[in-house]
Amino acid sequence: MNYKDSGVDIEAGRSFVDQIKDTVKSTHSSEVMGGFGGFNGMMRIPAGYKKPVLVSGTDGVGTKLHVVELECHGEDKSLMQGIGIDLVAMCVNDVITCGAKPLYFLDYICTSGIEKYGDYLKHIVHGIASGCKYSGCSLLGGETAEHPQRLSMVPPVRDISGFCTGIIEENEILDGRRVTEGDVIIGIESSGLHSNGYSLIRDMLFHHKIKLEDNLDLLNTTVIYAPLVDDLLNDFPILAMANITGGGIPENLPRCFPKGLKPNVNYDSWPMPKLFSKIMLAGEIPEEDMKNTFNMGIGYCLVVPEEAAEGVQLRISKHGLQSWIIGEVNK
């Protein structure tokens, strides 16, 4: 026997790395050092920072990956690239909540077969590279792990994870301390479920409560808010930000508030997308469970002084996104 007989193809792995080399290098900024395919990735701190702080975050796309695999079996290029963009979005949108600029990204892809699913994997990497370019960060490296298993039902991609590092001046960090009573909360639209709640969706599909072919908006790609946030921070007094992911608004929005203050959110202040009402009705899901599972149409939140809200919303609209004042800060 040899390693290939056990399911790990080293030559296929080398070939895959060579095939994605140009895609990865296309994301590199002038600060990236060294060549491609080394033991590590290196990057200079961009010029102009006096007291730079590095900000890191890691995340995945959860069972959205498996729902997409059920739909396209790896054959739909746009859906697989969308998973790559989702991965970047989940990490980048967390890192920017403190005001940091995305600097570089790393990925981990675990597959049951590189040779068999190489095209499938390339679509994901292309999506990751696309998300990195849009976010303004370099894809510095990654790992593609081959985990073979002698079972009939093994997914092409078992899991993917991402790791993002950003940078910010120490005196510019948004840590909630500037938030005061009476500030307003602006909610920015999501594209749908983003990458959360899919274990529930998968169960609903399994029990035939919904059909994927009738609800393809379930698979919409997660919005990357980095370019918008970067623009807003240059011109407006943004006091705090929250990425609305697993746990919805109740779980995530309070995380950006200082002790003694809390958000007062009016769920009637924005039009809930029909997708969420369809899920709630089809799954007979209580409203509170919906709010604690899904983003309900709000993918990102900003806390700003009341007098700045109109200008912030106008700027958001210029980025092609809708927003609403969804609440205020209370004691």
Write out pLDDT tens, residues 237-262. Answer: 999 999 999 999 999 999 999 999 99
What's the pLDDT band for 307 if we cut at 50, 70, 90? very high
Q: Are residues 122 and 264 in the same domain?
A: no
**Residue 317 included in any domain:** yes
What is the number of structural domains in the chain?
A: 2
Whole-model pTM: value is: 0.95
Rounded CA-CA distance 326/263 in Å is: 10
Q: What is the mean pLDDT of residues 101-112?
A: 94
For residue 72, count other CB atoms closer than 10 A to its CB.
18
For tokens 């920017």, name the residue: 96
Residues in the chain: 331
Find the CATH number of the domain harbouring 39: 3.30.1330.10
Rounded CA-CA distance 264/94 in Å is: 22
Q: Are residues 22 and 164 in the same domain?
A: yes
- Backbone φ and ψ for 250, nearest 5 degrees, come out as -60, -35
**Residue 221 included in any domain:** yes
Find the CATH number of the domain harbouring 193: 3.90.650.10
What's the pLDDT band for 294 if we cut at 50, 70, 90? very high
Q: How far is CA 295 from the centre of its chain?
A: 13
Rounded CA-CA distance 132/109 in Å is: 16
Q: What is the mean pLDDT of residues 115-130?
A: 90
Is 70 exceeded by the pLDDT of residue 153?
no
- For residue 157, list its beta bridge partners: 111
Last residue of a domain, one of 150, 172, 194: 172
Q: Are residues 156 and 207 in the same domain?
A: no
Is 80 exceeded by the pLDDT of residue 173?
yes
Q: How far is CA 21 from the centre of its chain?
A: 23
Q: What is the pLDDT of residues 46-100, one digit of tens each?
A: 999 999 999 999 999 999 998 888 776 656 778 889 999 999 999 999 999 999 9
Summary count for the chain: helices (H), strands (E): 10, 11
| Mean pLDDT score of the chain | 92
Q: Are residues 91 and 113 in the same domain?
A: yes
Rounded CA-CA distance 181/175 in Å is: 16
Q: Are residues 43 and 138 in the same domain?
A: yes
Residue 53 lies in domain: 10-172
40 DSSP assignment: S
- pLDDT recorded at residue 35: 80
Q: Are residues 144 and 206 in the same domain?
A: no
- pLDDT recorded at residue 209: 84
Q: What is the pLDDT of residues 192-232, one digit of tens each?
A: 999 999 999 999 988 888 888 777 788 999 999 999 999 99
Q: What is the mean pLDDT of residues 259-285?
A: 95
Is 90 exceeded by the pLDDT of residue 281?
yes
Rounded CA-CA distance 142/173 in Å is: 28
Q: Are residues 168 and 231 in the same domain?
A: no
Packing angle, helices 118-135 and 77-95, rounded to 10: 40
Last residue of a domain, one of 144, 172, 200: 172
Rounded CA-CA distance 215/78 in Å is: 16
Q: What is the mean pLDDT of residues 136-163?
A: 82
